[in-house]
Chain A
Amino acid sequence: MRPFTYQRVHTPAEAAAALLQQRDTKAIAGGTNLLDLMKLEIETPTHLVDVNGIGLDKMEATSDGGMRIGALVRNTDLAADPRVRREYPLLSRALLAGASGQLRNRATTAGNLLQRTRCPYFYDTDQPCNKRLPGSGCGALDGFSRSHAIVGHSKYCIATHPSDMAVAMRALDAVVETVHASGGTRSIPIADFHRLPGNTPHVETNLRTGEIITAVTLPRPVGGVQIYHKVRDRASYAFALVSVGAIIQRDGSGRVAVGGIAHKPWRVESAEALLPNGASAFTSKLLAGVHTTTQNAFKVPLVQRTIATVLHQAGELQR
Chain B
Amino acid sequence: MLVIGGMSPFHVSVTFDVNGHAQTLTLDTRTTLLDALREYLHFNGAKKGCDQGQCGACTVLVNGRRMVSCLSLAVMHDGDRITTIEGLGTPEHMHPMQEAFVRHDGFQCGYCTPGQICSAVAVLEEIKAGIPSHVTADLGKAPQATAEELRERMSGNLCRCAAYSNIVDAISTLVEMPVRERS
B123 proximity list for chain A (CB < 8 A) = 101
Q: Is A237 an interface residue (CB 8 A)?
A: yes
- Residue from A80, A85, A101 in contact with B119 in the complex, judged by beta carbons closer than 8 Å: A101
Q: Within A7-61, which residues are at the interface with B (CB < 8 Å)? A: 8, 28, 31-32, 35-36, 39, 48, 50, 52
A31 proximity list for chain B (CB < 8 A) = 71-73, 76
Please count how many residues in chain B sit with their CB below 8 Å of the partner chain's CB atoms: 42
B153–chain A nearest beta-carbon distance, Å: 6
Q: Report the nearest B residue to A123, measured CB to CB.
A: B52
- Of B129, B130, B151, B156, chain A has the most CB atoms within 10 Å of the CB of B156
- Residue from B10, B29, B119, B136 in contact with A102 in the complex, judged by beta carbons closer than 8 Å: B119
Given A4-B29, A85-B140, A96-B134: A36 in contact with B73 (beta carbons within 8 A): no
Q: Is B32 an interface residue (CB 8 A)?
A: yes
Q: Is A105 an interface residue (CB 8 A)?
A: yes
User: Quick check: A237 and B29 within 8 Å, CB to CB?
Assistant: no
User: Quick check: B131 and A1 within 8 Å, CB to CB?
Assistant: no
A233–chain B nearest beta-carbon distance, Å: 13
User: Quick check: B153 and A101 within 8 Å, CB to CB?
Assistant: yes
User: Quick check: A97 and B68 within 8 Å, CB to CB?
Assistant: no
User: Quick check: B53 and A103 within 8 Å, CB to CB?
Assistant: yes
Binds A, one of B59-67, B86-94, B97-105, B167-175: B59-67
User: Quick check: B155 and A236 within 8 Å, CB to CB?
Assistant: yes
A35 and B71 alpha carbons, distance in the complex (Å): 6
Q: What residues make up the interface of A, taking CB atoms closer than 8 Å to B?
A: 1, 3-6, 8, 28, 31-32, 35-36, 39, 48, 50, 52, 76, 79-80, 85-86, 89, 92-93, 96-97, 99-103, 105-106, 234-237
Report, nearest first, the 6 A-B pairs whose CB atoms are least far apart. A100-B156, A236-B155, A85-B139, A237-B155, A6-B29, A80-B131
